[in-house]
Amino acid sequence: MKRILLLTTGGTIASVKTENGLAPGTSGEEILSYIPEAKKYCRMEVCQIFSLDSTNLQPEHWLKIAGKIREAYEKFDGFVITHGTDTMAYTAAALSYLIQNPEKPVILTGAQKPISAPITDARKNLLDSIRFAVKDGVRGVYIVFDGKAILGTRARKIRTKSYSAFDSINYPVAAFIDDRRILQYVEAEEEPVPVRFYDQIDPGVFLLKLIPGMEPDILRYIGSRYDAIIIESYGVGGIPFYDRRNFLEELARLTRDGKIVVIATQVMLEGSDAEVYEVGFKAVNEYNVLQAYDMTVEAAAVKLMWILGMTRDFARVRELFYRPVSHDIVSMEE
């Protein structure tokens, strides 16, 4: 029988009612006690790492989670992590960069209702995660939620309240999990290279969402505090340069100062293609600026943090940013 390590971090799944609203309060052992059926599928051990709402999870926590998996990697066949839904997509992206080419599954899950509630999605999500984790051939980082397995680099929280909280952005759902079977559509490739763990992350990444009327000089302040800036621009990648609100002048300044600038889109689906319009063409052709293409903003932000942990040299950053990791980027210029 396979051995699975359950790592618990908090989130709604572990929350209880308090005077001040829901807060994590259910221990890892208690969470396990709600799913006695798990014994049918595997031998489980549990380790409570944190008891935090995921709003309070930071890059340092991602490093701790990856470190725990590294420590226990040889002893277990797979890892299931319970986590709050609000920042789960960021943690899933982070684990995808910190644990590359794992031969084993690393599954994040959580719930929209506490596991102790009479009506809850928590038990199903946790049992689905365990069933997916013990399935032969499953490897890599995924979020399992509401019957879907989504690659860690492709997940986004798209609903605040309903059970169907996550979707796979610009990439197919890897597997659908129902009560009777698991339909896996995206098989993990045979990885000839062994797992590689990373233990550096530099959180100096800022995400700026453009709105009409924004003054470009905000970029000067951001550049004084952060080393990389993702601009959530319009459509396929438009940056305003007309009249008195000229962002291109600020892009010139930032890139001259060695800052990494990535143009992404605030549109959820289909990604950027900044050369299509003059408003994006100038930005990507006149300056050392990257674009996110079909990457999620969550993955792009965390990938930059992982890259900044190794280098700030633009050519190297560019190479690493565009090099696919766990299917995070598919469409680039030909």
Annotated binding residues for substrate, written as ranges, equal 54, 85-86
Written as six digits, the tokens of 208 are 């700026």
Name the β-bridge partners of 230: 207, 262
Tell whether residue 85 is a contact of ligand ASP (CB under 6 A).
yes
- Smallest CA-to-CA distance from 99 within 129, 69, 74 is with 69
Closest CB to ligand ASP among residues 18, 311:
18
Quick one: DSSP state of residue 60?
H
CA dist., res. 200 & res. 310, Å (int): 7
Tell whether residue 26 is a contact of ligand ASP (CB under 6 A).
no
Q: What is the 3-state secondary structure (H, E, C) of 239-266?
A: CCCCCCCCHHHHHHHHHHCCCEEEEEEC
**Residue 120 corresponds to which amino acid?**
T
Angle formed at CA 237 by CA 232 and CA 243, multiple of 5 degrees? 90
Tell whether residue 12 is a contact of ligand ASP (CB under 6 A).
yes
CA dist., res. 193 & res. 102, Å (int): 9
Q: Closest approach of Cβ 138 to ligand ASP, in Å?
A: 24
- Smallest CA-to-CA distance from 111 within 85, 150, 148 is with 85
Q: Closest approach of Cβ 53 to ligand ASP, in Å?
A: 4
Closest CB to ligand ASP among residues 160, 224:
160
Q: Closest approach of Cβ 252 to ligand ASP, in Å?
A: 39
Q: Of these, 78, 102, 110, 147, which contacts ligand ASP (CB under 6 A)?
A: 110
Torsions phi, psi for 178 (to 5 deg)? -115, -170
Closest CB to ligand ASP among residues 48, 233:
48
Q: What string marks each residue from 27 to 66 as x (binds ligand ASP by CB under 6 A) or -?
A: --------------------------xxx-----------
Tell whether residue 84 is a contact of ligand ASP (CB under 6 A).
yes
Q: What string marks each residue from 282 to 311 as x (binds ligand ASP by CB under 6 A) or -?
A: ------------------------------
CA dist., res. 206 & res. 195, Å (int): 29
Active site residue 12: yes
Active site residue 26: no
Task: Count the residues of the shown chain that bind ligand ASP, applying the rule CB under 6 A.
Answer: 10
Site of interaction with ligand ASP (CB under 6 A): 11-12, 53-55, 84-86, 110, 112
